[in-house]
Structures are given as structure tokens and as C-alpha cells.
Structure 1
């Protein structure tokens, strides 16, 4: 264990036997039972599994708190520069197991629980997944917080404490059904409410011109209402370090929760109307924005957490500084996509209106403080908000954005006086019948750094999506290829594999994933390969048992587990994988005795509630599975499973069990991907296009250990420019035609030929995501997968090499690059040897 990690029991001022947060088995056992009795008011005769989970969680949290408070105190005392990560999503996953690992208590706590005759794994399973994210964006934010703490970097995450997270997905008759994800129903033992640090957030109203005490003109925002933002802090510990950074999530409350006058007058609904209206803001992650009310709520959410977070940072700064002149030297704010881009206008408003800076000085501080991460190449995914919506909800910010735009475009006209099209493309305002504010443009103008999240993505940003800004400011653009934390995604998810690796090369790989390359030295060791294969097989058996219990589908752990789990979207091309399944099925129907490699196809992921085609793709997967799984001709050689409600904890079961990772997005559409990294770290082979981080994964693993197919991004662009006629591919490819015709015939829809027409018709008419042109290359590559898998020794070697060579894709590497090149922050040692949490002498 890292020598920098110290425990409170080393404090000479406190006797070990009296230390309520000691680390011995007996102290842990006493604390566990004390928390059950004294904190929850329950004795063992009445305790449920969830009661035990809470008692265990509080026991672990107690052991985090002195590190947490010492970390915050150290940052304040040393006046360090702090990274502030602004994100609408933080998909943290379950805290208990991860925190036990990071504290070095996992095995001890298992012993404590089992000594008491309880099932440790059952208790761990009681924790709900905090559904505070939709997918890769939120999970990336969680990995970054883990790495920041593990690298001892001073940081704080800021977001929203959604009462209802991303919906809970159920499958009924093959269709996705969304039900509320009430993850806070039974309380959250990991958070610390801080009502004394609440701030107010304005919304609506109008602006008026006034004068300050010196007679200078100033603008005053008169809001229609104010909302209280109450912070809840979740401690985020690093691995083998004393650093515990805060994740601060804001809950919306009414500034006046109860209108006593209205109540006394008999207007009972009006008495609590303000409370209900305010709490809506932090009620649910990503409300449907297909209606004007939904769009207003989304913008209100984004502004709410940004405004609260900036006030919080300014308050922290002014505790130690007389003014905000050096704010940017003490705070680095990273905007995780465009959701927090309103921070540009809000920081300007605070500096100009509240702290009376002149425009130029305020703009200098703003640009030097903010940096922007882009997560999409698709223009339609770049946020735009109607000017009319801003006018009604954020009238002062609309004025500021217009002023930013005027000054910016004046500069552009000076630099490029004849280029009207450039000026139009760069403008923060999109001039349509309904004028729109381009939030990505605002983020680019107001930040000192702009980065993509994979090498190809960053290049395509400069060449296409943000090319005008790259023309203006090439020095602003960086690449920061995403990464994931090996602590959760190997050590916690794949305990046996982690033990095998540590047995062979020590445990330093968990803090420096490049060390994993050392296991290549054992690739000729037959015993090592056998153990590697046995661990994978056990993980597959465990997942097979989970599938049987939750989906009532019997799958063969000896079959190839072919897995695609991620958000359901046309560009991710889950339906291309379905076409391949049907092709294999058609081969069997043509010749039931064909020699075909047994495969289990596993899908998982959620479709946005308003995204009809994505929901129809889920229905197609389940419809194909219903037929294939029951057909006697198949004889179990193919199985199709859709695992409902894919989330972090389910991912922890799936990634270690996968043989093949499907990363088959249309080239040029995926920004990076992070699931591809989690699969490869756990020894899965990848079949994929040259898209996102797949390119770098293939470079690291070696082309011979990657199943490549499909057009490149450049070829996709060229083919679309020339004119792409997908029907030609259908007409000349007999197997593809058979696949499409079987779907169109109603074979998978009880004779209903119309059900899947919204999927099939676009494929044959314009095929925007190039499935038909990539189809044959994909099927050929899958045939190569089958051939390779038959040689289990060769496959195991490839699996080992994939895992060994994924060091680049640790989020630790990504965070080091951010710290050095964009944020300019340094590690801070947290010394708790002489720290007494009770301040006792």
C-alpha cells in the first residue's frame, strides 16, 4: 500500500482502542452494530438487508470524513488552485464497494459482515445506483473525480441532485417502458446536506437601468422569482491516498416554502405552489424537451446549477482574497459539454453587475477561468436555445450574450473583413425565423481552451464541427482522449482477474495502468493462460446465472458472448448487429446442420423517451430474440438477450464477462466511447470501425488483436458527397436481401409488415448511418471472429494482450494531461497524521 496513506489510528493523541473510526476488525464490527442501533434505531432481530446496508455505509462514511474535512481544510489553508468540474451528469455508480476499495477496507469489511453471519454480497446489492447520468458523459465525469482524488489533485465536482435520475427501464412485450427512478426513496447515506451554504438563484423578470453610488450606469436584474439552491456534498475518495474531494450537488427549494397568508385564506394549493414550482428544477434528469415547458425547465436546470456553483466558488475565493482580480489563478472551471455553457454569461454578469468590474477586465477573467470539452460531432446535438426563451427566463444573460457577440464579431470583421459567411457561422446568434443562441459558440468564445475527447474527434472538430473557431484560434484546441478508472472497472468489477494480475506484477498497476504491460511477459506461461481463461469463464457463468434469473433465458457460458451495451441510438448501429444475427439465423434455416459457432448476443441500453426509432430498435432486438431463442432448428446455438435497465452496476457484471465488444458506430459519429475501454481492459476483443477512441485502442492493442471493418470517416464523407444509393447494396447482396426481406415480411412481428417499416424504409432509401454499405464488411469480420474464437489458446493470448496494452486509457492519464496543459494545477499532499477531527489537544 502507498506509504502516503495514513489512518487516524496513528494519531498519538487518540488511543487506538477508543478510536470509533479505527480500522481493526473488532472496531469495525462495533461501529457497524452501533450504527445499526444508535443511528437507525434498529436491533438485529428486526434489521432488514437494507438496514444492514445503511449501517455498513455509515461505518464507511465515518472513516471518510476526517480525510474529507482535512482535505477541504488543507485547500483553504494553502490557497491552492482548484479544478471545478461543471457537469449536468455524474453517473457515479454504487459508492459502498468502491469506497471500501479506495480505503483499503474491502476484505476486512467482508470479514466483519461474515463473522456476524451475514451475506456481504447481498448487502452490497442493496445500494441503488444513483441515476444521475444518461451514459458516457456522466460516467466520464465520475471517472474523472476518482482520478482527481487518486492523483491528489484539488478538485470539486458541481452538478444537480436530481430527485429522480435517469428513468428505470422495463421491457414489456419487447418495448421499453420508462418508470420513475426514485433512487432517494430510502435516503442516501453518502451525502452531507449543507443548508447553511445555500445560495439564491434568480429566474425570469426584467432588467432596469440604474446608477451606482458614483453615478456610473449599471444594469439591475429584477427577477420574477428566486430559487434556493441547497448543496449536498458527497465525499469522493482517491485510491491509496488521503485525498477525499467533494462532489457538490444542488437541490432546488423555494425561498419561501409556505404561504401562510394564502393558507389562512383557504387557498391551500397556492400555499405550497411556490415550493412545488421551485422543486421541479431538481426533480428529474433531462425532462423531455419536446414541449416549450420542457425546454424552459431544461434551461432553468442548467442555469440553476451553474449560477449556484459560481456563487459558491466566488464565496470560497473571497474568504482568502480581497477581490476577484486573480480568480482565474485560483479556479479552473471545466465545462463538460454545452450544458454548463451559460457559465460564460453568468460569470460575466457576476463580475460586471455584482462586483463592478469593467467589461474588458471581466472578460479577461472569464476566458482565463473557463475551458470547454466538446462531446459530439453531430451539429444537431449542439445545444441551441430560442432567444425568446432567454428573454423570458434569463433576460440579463440575453443582453450580455448580445454584447459578447457584438464585440466578438467586430473583431472578426477586422480580421476577415470580406468573409460574411465566416461571420455568420461564428455568430452566437443563429439568424432564423426564430433566432437561436448557439451554446457551443458561446462556450468556444468564452473559454481559453477547447478540447475533443479522442484523436479523431479532435481532428474532426477542427476540420468540420468547429472549423471556424479553429481557424480563428488554433492554439485553443487540444485533444484529451478519454479514459476510465481501473479501480472500478477492473479491481472492483473483476476481482479475480485483478488478483491474478497483482500476483504476477504487484499492485502498482492500479495507480499506473501502463504497468499492465508487464503481464505480457507471462503470455507463454500455459498456467497463466489457463487461469486467465478460467476467470473469464467464471465471469460468463455468473452473468449467465444473472440472465436466467432476470430474463428467464438460458444461455451457454461456453458460447461466445458478443456484447453491445450503450445508449440506444441509430449512429451506434445496434440494428447493424441485429442484421448479422438474422443473417446467421437465415444460414441455419437454410441448412439446420450447418457448423456455426455458438453465440450469445447481449444488448443493453436505454433509448431517450422521445426517440421513437431507438425504441423501435429495442423492440426489434427483442422480437428477433423471441423467434431465434425458441426455434428448434437453432438448437441453442444462437441466443439473443436484451438486459433491461443498463446502469453502472450492471456494467460491472457485463464487461468482465464479454468475449467480443461491439463498437460499430458509423465512422465520424462517435466522439470517443468509454465502454470500448472497459471491455478491452477486461480482456474482451473489439470488433469496430475506425471511429472515436477505437482508433487509438487498435493502435495500442495492435491491428492483429482488433477486428476492423467498415468505411473510414473520410470515406463516409466522400460517399455521401458523391451520392449514396443504399438500394443498390440491397439489390446485389443476396444474403443482405434475405435479411431485410425477413424483417419486412412480418416474420418477427406476427405478420405485421408495418411494425418495422420505420427502420427498414430509411435503410433502403437514404441509410443515413451507412449500415448497408458496411454490412458485408461487418459480416466478414464477424466470420473472422468465429474462426479466431475456435482456437481458444490463440484467443486467450489476444485477450491478454488487449488488457495488457490499455494503459493509455486510464482516466489518470487523461487527468494528468488536463492538469498540465489546460488547468495548470498540481497535486496537494493531505497529511492526517496529527489531524484530530474533534480538535482535542
Structure 2
């Protein structure tokens, strides 16, 4: 382990401040100190990074390349300090200088490269792959503005540019020497060579220069630093004359401007497809250039390279890999296909049919014509290869090219050797329902890898008070191996430990209450139950069900002024996609209900609603340690896994959940009495689909409370929602409540009553919290990536080689 003294750290800080800002430490701002400290820390990690890379080259180890259109690392300073073993030293050194580390951390911008669970999972995996000593790399896009910065104006979501790169990114290294050209558009044709083989020729193509920006992914105190490579777009010198107008240049810049360009119009869809091909092509070219340095035969590619497709956005990895093997390396189709399918693996992240990515043939032909040709040939050969084995109906249903549409999930499954879901229920549903046809054809390719989280960040960094209680109670081994959290089970009846857990929680609740007041002006009671729902705003995640219960509770208090409940603070954090009108209407309604309830003195502050804008990793790190209740209330069968459920469980929140995604595995880990389950099961949901006998209007007509709550959306009781209230009312009744909120309403309200009742017995509640914390180790990303490494990627830790 690298040793650094306080004296050396101060000297390095002073040197950086003088060289970069011509300023003394005593006169430096917090921002200047952050960048100077970041440079010092990067200098230390760079030494380990260089050594790691040299060892990979020397050992010629098989490496995995994790392709994801999203990465959501959040801030890296504290994480890097922890993983380098420097956290306490830096904190103490700064304190000696009367500098608060937290104030320095606040100067860092979140790396806004993702939207939600998909991107955060990718970042948790990057941390875990390095921490397990595994040779692994991330491959993504260096978005200039990420998703968007969310603000609320008159209750409405407003999207502003998230200019996270405005002052630079201290952690990245631009590598001009590793830049590659990406070609798109134009026409593709074939010319016969003298030897009779066909040579691919291109005309009128556009060329993009892809420049890699590498960030070191530091393993937990093991001297391993892997690479997350993010690609930025530029105009090649040879193309300068073709981009004459500002408008043409803006189109090019749009390729890496934002995550998920609005695809509700043709221009947006075109940019999005170019974006996907851009980072795929750049990454594949980079990987194969590295492989050529090894001087090995193409036939050994799958023994040295694994490429993982994180959801369908990078599915073009398959035809792009084929393109290089066929067109540049001049392998036969059979050779190239055999290698490609052995190299590629795919994670499916969704059950929703509309989320399985599809592209119009016309757009694919126009934007990436060579990709279309290769996909078309993959499809043709797939049909031929299956024709003697399976029925024509089954083959036609599983084709990649169907009518005028290209199905990217079909391409990902057919072109890879492994398809996994991300929770047991999700993987089972993929096999039995969503991708059942493919399971019939390729049963050996399907497997489950339940998601995991980087527990170092979500406990050691986000919740120091709880971490200290754990250190004092069970020792420090849990920090290295989260399965040792199980040792806490020995203290279920130790009232002093339970009291310490309660005190740690209260510390974080007070901190969050202070943050809420400072940022919203609303005063909340830290003695209240903090009830938290933090995730993307989507109809299937059912933030609206949460709101319906809040309204019921509010009306109960209004109708019975003498009634007293345990105070409750409902905390929301969520962004809606810019083009997702319905989700944005729900945000508006939540904010208007919050305004109504928060300012109603007649309910004596028994309910508060806090919708914190611009939910991101840093905000999650403030909310999660303070949560008492974890809302995981998606309609059963719709949430692939969830990871906020794991983070909240780890921090001692009680899960209020449907039997969906990884909630089932949380229940299995903690036992029925330590989780609060409600609502329809997946089997009941599918029974409604099969029998087509769900009637929301019938439920409405028979349930006076549902009538009272829903009518409030259209009768003026909730101000300023005339349009949005009608939209929501109609979605639940006229359009028959797609996600069965009304069917689950009574069950959900009963579960909420159980929460309130159980919270009154503080000792019993803390025992339940302890059991959740103690059993959270099974959801460590370290364990998840080890399963990927063993079962799918077939990679070994670097130190496994070094010890041989």
C-alpha cells in the first residue's frame, strides 16, 4: 500500500496551487484546493494505473470491455481517497489546516453521464471489477451535458443543461494518440478483387474523430487501477471543409451533447443512432488495435477479449466487430461469426416490450449502411441455420429483421453466447414470457445475475455514523468483505447496539432535514418517519400510487381534525424523460399536492412532502442514509431488479414493496417479518393480462375512498392541476389503469398502516433495521461481478496470475 505522510501531502498541495494558480494554500478557495488535491491524488493513482496496464500486457490476460451508453459515477474524490487508503489521512491533514473535507468535496461536479439504475449499475461494476482485481474496462460516451439539470418552475419540470465539464474534469486524461475515425452515412458497394474476393468500398461517407478520455477506476486498497474510456467527438482535419455552416457543426456536436437525445422526431432518432454507433465503433476499433499489439492469431480473440453489451444500446458491437473481422482482417464469414459470438455477451435490463430497442430499416440503411448489410446477412443465415430445427412460426418471431423494423434485442441474443437478467424473477420472466421463444432455441445461453451495489460508496462513504457503529460492534472486516455484515446478527437483542443504530440514523435524518430547509425553505421534523421513493419517474414505478395514499392520509386528517398520526415526511427524487409527457404531469401534480399539504396548518405538520429537484448520485448519498422506509412499489413483473432497494436496505431502511425485481430476494434474505409486502403477485398480474378482466372503473365505483382521492384530481381540491389532473384521472379510469394502481391501493394503504404501527415500537423497529443491514452483503457488486467473471466473461484477477 502506498504510504503518504501529512507533510508530503501538504507539500504537494502547495506545489500544485503555486503551479496552477500562483497562489498560497492559505489564500486558496475551496475550488482551487479541490482541483489541486485532485491532481495530487490522480498523480498517486496514475502510478498504479500504469503498473496495472503493464501487467495486463505482460501477462496477456483476458480482459472484459463493458459497453454502456450510461455511466453514473457521481463524485470521485472521496471514493478515490477511500480506495487508495488515504481517506483518513487527507481528512485529518485538511482538518489540521482548518479545512473541511466535505466543503472541498462540494466543489466537485457529479459526472452526469447517466439517467438512473442502468448507469449507476455500470459505475458500481467498474468499482467492483477493479476491487476484485479483475482486468476490466468501461466504454461509453463523454457527454458534454449528460442528461439534464432538473429545476421546478411553478411545479413543472424544466430541463437545463448540466454543464458539468465547464471547469474541467480533474480525473480524466485525454489520449489523442488513441483517437480513431468513425465512418457513417454514404453508400456501400462491392468490387471484385483480382483473386475473386469482394472488397467493400465506400463513397460520400462522413467521418467523425473519436477522442478517448480515460478515467482511472481504482480498486479498493489493492493497487489495481482499471480504465473507464469515454469517447468525445471532434471533426477530423480531413473533414473540416465539409462542415461549413454552424448548423452542420452543431449536428456533429449534438452526437455527444446529451444522453438520450429526444427521439420523438426524425432528427433526434438519427442523432441517437449515430451516437450509439459512434461509441461502439470507436470502442471496438480500440480493442482490436490493442489485440493486434499482442501479435496473436485472430482465432484466439475470444481467449483474450470479452465484450459485454449492457442493455441494447451497444448491440451494434456485434455487426461492428464482424465488419472489422470481415472487411479489414479478411476472415471468412464463418470464422468471424464464430469468434464474434464467443466474444459477445448481453445483459437485458427490461421486461417492458416498448423498452426493447428497435430501429426502422430506412434509418439504419441511411445512417450506417454497412451495419445494415451485416445485420441483414446475420438474419438471413440465422433463418437458414434454424430452418431444419424449429418451426417457421418460431423462426419468424425471433428474426432480427421483421417487416420494416430491426429488433436490437434479437440481434444481441443471436450474436452473443450469454443473455442474463438482473434479478431471479426478471430472469425467470425472460425465459417464460418476454424472451420465451429465444429460450426455446438457446436454453443454455440464459442465466441470472442479480444486480449488486458498490457498498463502499453507499455505506462507508455515504454513512460514516453507521459505519462507525459497525466498526465498534463487529470490527473492520466488513469493509473488505461485505458478507461479514452478517456478524451483526449476533446483536439483535443487544439494546445498546440497537440504540447506537438509532442514533446513527437520527444523525443522518437531522443532516437531511437541515439540507431540505437550506434548499427548499421547508422545515421538516427529524423525528418523523422519513418515507423515501427515489428513482426515475415512470408510470410502472408508480410514484402515483404513493401520491394516492398521501392524499388518502391527508383527507383522513382533514375529515377528523382530532386525529393524530406519527409525523411522516414523504421524500421524492426523480427525473422524467423530456419527451415523457405523462411522467412530467405526475411531477407537476406531486409538487402541487406538496404545496397544498405543506402549507395547511390544520393538519399540524403531520405530513410533509419534499420533492428534491435534480436527483443524482450526490443527492442519493444524502437521502439514503436518512431513510426509514424504502418505497419499492412498482407493479409486480415490471421492475427488472432495482438497486435503490439494495442501497436503502444496506442503510437500515425497511422495504415497503411489491414482489417485484430484487425485492423478492431481499425478502428471502431478511424474512417476511422484516419487510412489508403488499399488492398483486406477478402471477396475478399475468392472469389479468390473460383473462382481460381488469376493470378500474368497477373498483372506483365500489370504493368510496378511491372515489374521494381520484375526484380530487378534477374537482378543484388540488389547485393548479386542471389539465394534468384530468390527464391522470383519465389514465386511471378511461384508459383502465395500465399499472393496476387501483387494484393495489387498499393493500398498499394497509401496508402503510402496518409501517406506522411497527414504527411505534422503537426497539423492535431497530431490530428489523439491524437484520436488514446484516443481510445486505449478498447484494454487493463485488459478488455480482465475480459471478459474471466466472460464468460469462471467464476472466481471472491480475493477482491470480502474479501469484503463479
TM-score, length-scaled by structure 2: 0.98
SS at 1:484 equivalent: coil
SS at 1:397 equivalent: helix
Gaps of 5+ in 2: none
C-alpha offsets along residues 304-343 of structure 1, whole Å, 9 cap, x if unaligned? 1111111111111111124322111101111000000011
C-alpha offsets along residues 68-118 of structure 1, whole Å, 9 cap, x if unaligned? 000011001110000110000110010001101111111111122222232
The 5 Å alignment of 1:236-635 reads: 236-256=217-237, 259=240, 270=244, 275-416=249-390, 419-431=391-403, 435-635=404-604
Indicate the residue corresponding to 1:780 in structure 2.
Answer: 750
| In 2, Cα distance between equivalents of 1:292 and 1:371 | 30
C-alpha offsets along residues 502-549 of structure 1, whole Å, 9 cap, x if unaligned? 222222212321110101112222111111100000100000000001
Contact kept, 8 Å, 2:59 with 2:801, in 1: the verdict is no
1:114 counterpart = 2:86: no
The 5 Å alignment of 1:646-725 reads: 646-722=615-691, 723-725=693-695
| In 1, Cα distance between equivalents of 2:98 and 2:567 | 41
Indicate the residue corresponding to 1:81 in structure 2.
Answer: 62
Contact kept, 8 Å, 1:505 with 1:518, in 2: the verdict is yes
Evaluate the alpha carbon distance shift between residue 505 and residue 176 of structure 1 in structure 2; reply closer, same or farther with a 3 A threshold. Answer: same
Indicate the residue corresponding to 2:123 in structure 1.
Answer: 142
Residue of structure 2 aligned with 1:812, choices 770, 782, 786: 782
Evaluate the alpha carbon distance shift between residue 273 and residue 745 of structure 1 in structure 2; reply closer, same or farther with a 3 A threshold. Answer: closer
| In 2, Cα distance between equivalents of 1:44 and 1:831 | 44
Contact kept, 8 Å, 1:334 with 1:372, in 2: the verdict is yes
| In 2, Cα distance between equivalents of 1:25 and 1:37 | 18
Bigger shift: residues 217-226 or 150-159? 217-226
C-alpha displacement of 1:719: 1.6
1:747 counterpart = 2:717: yes
Evaluate the alpha carbon distance shift between residue 246 and residue 259 of structure 1 in structure 2; reply closer, same or farther with a 3 A threshold. Answer: closer
Indicate the residue corresponding to 1:235 in structure 2.
Answer: 216
SS at 1:451 equivalent: strand
Bigger shift: residues 455-464 or 279-288? 279-288
TM-score, length-scaled by structure 1: 0.93
| In 2, Cα distance between equivalents of 1:257 and 1:546 | 52
| In 2, Cα distance between equivalents of 1:622 and 1:128 | 26
RMSD of aligned Cα (Å):
1.6
C-alpha displacement of 1:831: 11
Contact kept, 8 Å, 2:72 with 2:122, in 1: the verdict is yes
Contact kept, 8 Å, 2:199 with 2:327, in 1: the verdict is yes
1:738 counterpart = 2:738: no
1:761 counterpart = 2:730: yes
| In 2, Cα distance between equivalents of 1:53 and 1:252 | 28
Contact kept, 8 Å, 1:257 with 1:275, in 2: the verdict is no
Indicate the residue corresponding to 1:827 in structure 2.
Answer: 797
Contact kept, 8 Å, 2:379 with 2:399, in 1: the verdict is yes
Bigger shift: residues 106-115 or 809-818? 106-115
C-alpha displacement of 1:421: 2.6
Indicate the residue corresponding to 2:76 in structure 1.
Answer: 95
| In 2, Cα distance between equivalents of 1:166 and 1:507 | 38
| In 2, Cα distance between equivalents of 1:399 and 1:414 | 24
C-alpha displacement of 1:56: 1.1
C-alpha displacement of 1:829: 2.1
| In 2, Cα distance between equivalents of 1:117 and 1:512 | 34
C-alpha offsets along residues 430-457 of structure 1, whole Å, 9 cap, x if unaligned? 22xxx01000000000000000000000
Contact kept, 8 Å, 2:642 with 2:662, in 1: the verdict is yes
Contact kept, 8 Å, 1:227 with 1:254, in 2: the verdict is yes
| In 2, Cα distance between equivalents of 1:222 and 1:689 | 55
Contact kept, 8 Å, 1:470 with 1:477, in 2: the verdict is yes
| In 2, Cα distance between equivalents of 1:345 and 1:213 | 26
C-alpha offsets along residues 164-215 of structure 1, whole Å, 9 cap, x if unaligned? 1110000111111100001000000000010011011001011121134533
The 5 Å alignment of 1:197-216 reads: 197-212=178-193, 214-216=195-197
SS at 1:247 equivalent: strand
| In 2, Cα distance between equivalents of 1:734 and 1:102 | 56
Residue of structure 1 aligned with 2:170, choices 186, 189, 196: 189
C-alpha offsets along residues 603-657 of structure 1, whole Å, 9 cap, x if unaligned? 0110000001101111111111111111122100000010000000100011100
| In 1, Cα distance between equivalents of 2:15 and 2:298 | 47
| In 1, Cα distance between equivalents of 2:239 and 2:179 | 18
SS at 1:68 equivalent: helix
C-alpha displacement of 1:221: 3.3
Bigger shift: residues 502-511 or 649-658? 502-511
Gaps of 5+ in 1: 1-5, 10-22, 263-268, 834-841
C-alpha offsets along residues 411-431 of structure 1, whole Å, 9 cap, x if unaligned? 222112xx3331221111122
SS at 2:604 equivalent: coil
| In 1, Cα distance between equivalents of 2:724 and 2:229 | 46
| In 2, Cα distance between equivalents of 1:511 and 1:390 | 47
Evaluate the alpha carbon distance shift between residue 322 and residue 798 of structure 1 in structure 2; reply closer, same or farther with a 3 A threshold. Answer: closer
Contact kept, 8 Å, 1:83 with 1:331, in 2: the verdict is yes
Indicate the residue corresponding to 1:30 in structure 2.
Answer: 11
C-alpha displacement of 1:46: 5.2
Contact kept, 8 Å, 1:90 with 1:139, in 2: the verdict is yes
Contact kept, 8 Å, 1:87 with 1:339, in 2: the verdict is yes
C-alpha displacement of 1:732: 1.3
C-alpha displacement of 1:30: 0.8
Evaluate the alpha carbon distance shift between residue 830 and residue 127 of structure 1 in structure 2; reply closer, same or farther with a 3 A threshold. Answer: farther
Contact kept, 8 Å, 2:473 with 2:497, in 1: the verdict is no
C-alpha displacement of 1:271: 6.9
SS at 1:241 equivalent: coil
C-alpha offsets along residues 265-315 of structure 1, whole Å, 9 cap, x if unaligned? xxxx82777654433311211111111111011111111111111111111
| In 1, Cα distance between equivalents of 2:438 and 2:8 | 59
